Amino acid sequence: MAHIHYKFSSKLSYDTVVFDGPNISLTDLKKQIMGREKLRAGDCDLQIINAQTKEEFTEDGGHIPKGSSVIVRRIPLIGVKSSSNSKTNHKYVERSDVQIPKAFGSHRAHTL
């Protein structure tokens, strides 16, 4: 069994992800960390940085060798608002091509 040590930048201690093989893909590492930390993929993405070299792993198809230590940062998804307080799981995306009509009575009265 191979392992990778990870920690969020705000934490002091490392946790461990265990996997089979000589390396793990960036996508699989993110999935395992999100599962262990109970994060939802629709709310954020993870930035993975090599703890020794400070280089960011950016290719989702790239592989991280066993025994590596990485720093993890949560990155909010741009333009997506989570409705976790709502009873439904709809996602709201801000759009610039849609005009929202003003509410009744919200315009100013004209004075002479």
Kindly report the CATH number assigned to the domain that includes residue 11.
Answer: 3.10.20.90
Contact (CB, 8 A) for 61 and 25: yes
- Report how far residue 50's alpha carbon sits from residue 68's, in angstroms, rounded to the nearest whole number: 8
In the chain, the number of structural domains is 1
Would 33 be classed as within a structural domain?
yes
Question: Which are the contacts of 94, defined by CB distance < 8 A and separation ≥ 6?
Answer: 79, 81
Find tokens 């990870």 and name the residue: 6
Q: What is the pLDDT of residue 88?
A: 44
Q: Is residue 73 part of a domain?
A: yes
Task: Tell me if 67 is assigned to some domain.
Answer: yes
The verdict on pTM exceeding 0.95 is no
Instruction: Specify if 7 maps to a domain.
Output: yes
Q: Average pLDDT across each block of 10 residues of the chain; the chain has 112 residues. List them in order.
A: 95 96 95 92 91 91 92 85 48 50 53 56
